[in-house]
Structure 1
Amino acid sequence: MIILGSGSDYKIAEKSVKVLEEMKVPYDIKVASAHRTHGRVKDIMTNYTDNVEVFIAIAGLAAHLPGVIASYTTKPVIAVPCTGKIGGLDALLSSTEMQLGTPVATMGIDRGENAAWLACQIIACNDDNMKEALKNKRESYNQKMENDEKDVIEKIAGEYYTKSERVEHERPAVKKELVLPENTKVLIISGNYSNMEIVHKITQTLETLGIGSNYKVVSATRTPDKLEKYMKEADAQVDLYIAVSSLSTVLSGAMVSHTTKPVIGVPCTTKRLGIDSLLSMVEMPPGVPTATMGLDAGENAALYVARILSIYDEDIRNSLIKYMKTLHRNIYYE
């Protein structure tokens, strides 16, 4: 279900619709403001969502709509912040920096198409046909790049344009194989050991929810061949991934490039407050989304995993509901 905070955001929603139509995914469209028509949002989420698997919330300015939607469901919510008075940064931060317990997967500003691609990846967790369609779509990008290259050469190549000669070289061999425990549903990859505190928050929360996970420390820039090999081997063993990264988050982008399964990103705080990590993780190009959480929000990343898996797994859904009740008691002393 696509929910717009304002009818003026229809062009962003149109990007989502085009992808869903291409991938043959049934969808509904609603318009409701979290601030001006809160009762309408509540009514939609209470009475119109029995068959909905994923929500796409499109909003700008103080974009509270995704969080309000997340408060009324345990299903995954994807936020699309829209360009506003300060370039959409207000909406971006409103969407990512959610309280513990109400995780929202945020896309780049105005990236309605990536919200739909992530929705397709979530659906593919339990749909082999969608899984195959996503792989075919990703492979088609190669042909598009080749066509674009030819067009660019025709437009700008001059007298000294010289086509590079292809000479075959072997990449350094990575001998170690990635073999995960049988019950592993989530692979967590951190770019370095300095982020291990966030990783431990994720693993502890997943363990509480009864979701098997494993983690590795792999650098996308220092050992790219190792990362590629691990991703290929992990794809047959896990349902989805979590990327934990700081500074320029090349890791999350590299992981997304190696899989069509959901990648949940956790940007980490740095000397620049983590804004560098957040922006380089969330602002992905069309077709390759990262489901970005708030800064250091490891627990919310784990809860978002549970929201995805609970669509198809009743045990995980019950564990998630139980966890949320416990969380509420701990926070509000009920």
Structure 2
Amino acid sequence: MIILGSGSDYKIAEKSVKVLEEMKVPYDIKVASAHRTHGRVKDIMTNYTDNVEVFIAIAGLAAHLPGVIASYTTKPVIAVPCTGKIGGLDALLSSTEMQLGTPVATMGIDRGENAAWLACQIIACNDDNMKEALKNKRESYNQKMENDEKDVVEKIAGEYYTKSERVEHERPTVKKELVLPKNTKVLIISGNYSNMEIVHKITQTLETLGIGSNYKVVSATRTPDKLEKYMKEADDQVDLYIAVSSLSTVLSGAMVSHTTKPVIGVPCTTKRLGIDSLLSMVEMPPGVPTATMGIDAGENAALYVARILSIYDEDIRNSLIKYMKTLHRNIYYE
């Protein structure tokens, strides 16, 4: 279900619709403001969502709509912040920086198409046909890039343009194989050991929810071949991934490039308050979304995993509902 905070955001919703139509995913469209028509949002979430698996919330300015939607459901909510007076940064931060217990996967500003692609990835967790369709779509990008390259050369190449000759070379061999325990549903990858406190929050929350996980420390810049091999081997063993990264967050982008399964990203605090990590993680190009959480929000990343898996797993759904009830008695919960 696509919910717009204002009819003026229809062009962003149209991007989502085009993807859903291409992938043959049934959808509904609603318009309701979290501030001006809160009762309408509540009515939609209470009485119109029995067959909905994923929500896409599109809003700008003080974009509280995704959070309000998340407060009324345990299903996954995807936020698309819209451009506004300060370039959409207000809406972006309103969407990502959610309280514990109401995780929202945020896309880049105005990236309605990526919200739909993430929705398809979530649906594919229990749909082999969708899984195959996503793989075929990803493979089609190679031909698109080849065509674009030819067009660019025709437009701008000059007298000294020289086409590079292909000379085959072997990449460094990574001998170690990645074998995960059979109950592993989530692979957590951190770019370095400095983020282990966030990783611990994730694994602890997943364990509480009864969701099997495993974590590895792999650098996307220092050991790219190792990361690629691990992702390839893990893809048949897990349902989804969590990337924990700081600074330029190359890790999350690299992980997304190696899989069509959902990748949840947790940007980590740096000297720039984590804003650099957040922006480089969330602003992904069309077709390759990262489900970005708030800065250092490891627990919410784990809870978002539970929201995805609970669509198809009743035991996880019950564990999630039980966990949510305990938050109301937690002194750290607002």
Q: Matched residue of 2:329: which SS?
A: helix
Structure-2 separation of matches of 1:181 and 1:222: 26
Structure-2 separation of matches of 1:34 and 1:321: 24
Structure-2 separation of matches of 1:3 and 1:253: 27
Q: Relative to 1, partners in 2 of residues 1:159 and 1:183: Cα closer, same or farther, differing over 3 Å?
A: same
Q: Relative to 1, partners in 2 of residues 1:181 and 1:166: Cα closer, same or farther, differing over 3 Å?
A: same
Structure-2 separation of matches of 1:177 and 1:15: 40
Would you say the 8 A contact 2:56–2:79 is kept in 1? yes
Q: What is the correspondence of 1:98-137 to structure 2 with a 5 Å cutoff? A: 98-137=98-137
TM-score (norm 2): 0.99
- Tell me the CA shift for residue 330 of structure 1: 1.5
Unaligned runs of 5+ in 2: none
Q: Matched residue of 1:233: which SS?
A: helix
Per-residue CA deviations over 1:228-254 (Å, capped at 9, x if unaligned) read 000000000000000000000000000
Structure-2 separation of matches of 1:330 and 1:34: 26
- Tell me the CA shift for residue 276 of structure 1: 0.4
Would you say the 8 A contact 2:327–2:333 is kept in 1? no
Structure-1 separation of matches of 2:248 and 2:130: 31
Q: Relative to 1, partners in 2 of residues 1:162 and 1:177: Cα closer, same or farther, differing over 3 Å?
A: same
Per-residue CA deviations over 1:191-235 (Å, capped at 9, x if unaligned) read 000000000000000000000000000000000000000000000
Per-residue CA deviations over 1:255-302 (Å, capped at 9, x if unaligned) read 000000000000000000001000000000000000000000000000
Per-residue CA deviations over 1:19-58 (Å, capped at 9, x if unaligned) read 0000000000000000000000000000000000000000
Would you say the 8 A contact 2:210–2:316 is kept in 1? yes
Would you say the 8 A contact 2:267–2:278 is kept in 1? yes
What is the match of residue 151 of structure 1? 151
Would you say the 8 A contact 2:100–2:333 is kept in 1? no
- Tell me the CA shift for residue 332 of structure 1: 8.1
- Tell me the CA shift for residue 331 of structure 1: 3.4
Would you say the 8 A contact 2:241–2:264 is kept in 1? yes
Structure-2 separation of matches of 1:176 and 1:170: 17
Q: Matched residue of 1:264: which SS?
A: strand
Q: Once superposed, what is the RMSD of the aligned Cα atoms?
A: 1.0
Q: Matched residue of 1:189: which SS?
A: strand
- Tell me the CA shift for residue 85 of structure 1: 0.5
Structure-2 separation of matches of 1:40 and 1:329: 29
Per-residue CA deviations over 1:156-212 (Å, capped at 9, x if unaligned) read 000000000100000000000000000000000000000000000000000000000
Per-residue CA deviations over 1:132-164 (Å, capped at 9, x if unaligned) read 000000000000000000000000000000000
Q: Relative to 1, partners in 2 of residues 1:332 and 1:93: Cα closer, same or farther, differing over 3 Å?
A: closer
Give the fraction of aligned pairs with identical amino acids, expressed as a percent. 99
Structure-1 separation of matches of 2:222 and 2:333: 47
Q: Relative to 1, partners in 2 of residues 1:24 and 1:273: Cα closer, same or farther, differing over 3 Å?
A: same
Q: Matched residue of 1:253: which SS?
A: helix
- Tell me the CA shift for residue 328 of structure 1: 1.1
Q: Matched residue of 1:149: which SS?
A: helix
Q: Matched residue of 2:207: which SS?
A: helix
What is the match of residue 214 of structure 2? 214
- Tell me the CA shift for residue 327 of structure 1: 1.1
Q: Which runs of 4+ in 1 moved over 4 A?
A: none
Once structures 1 and 2 are overlaid, which stretch shifts more, 270-279 or 323-332? 323-332
Would you say the 8 A contact 2:174–2:229 is kept in 1? yes
TM-score (norm 1): 0.99
Unaligned runs of 5+ in 1: none
Q: Relative to 1, partners in 2 of residues 1:160 and 1:138: Cα closer, same or farther, differing over 3 Å?
A: same
Structure-1 separation of matches of 2:324 and 2:69: 16
Structure-2 separation of matches of 1:165 and 1:314: 55
Q: Relative to 1, partners in 2 of residues 1:63 and 1:234: Cα closer, same or farther, differing over 3 Å?
A: same
In the alignment of these two chains, the number of paired residues is: 334
Per-residue CA deviations over 1:87-108 (Å, capped at 9, x if unaligned) read 0000000000000000000000
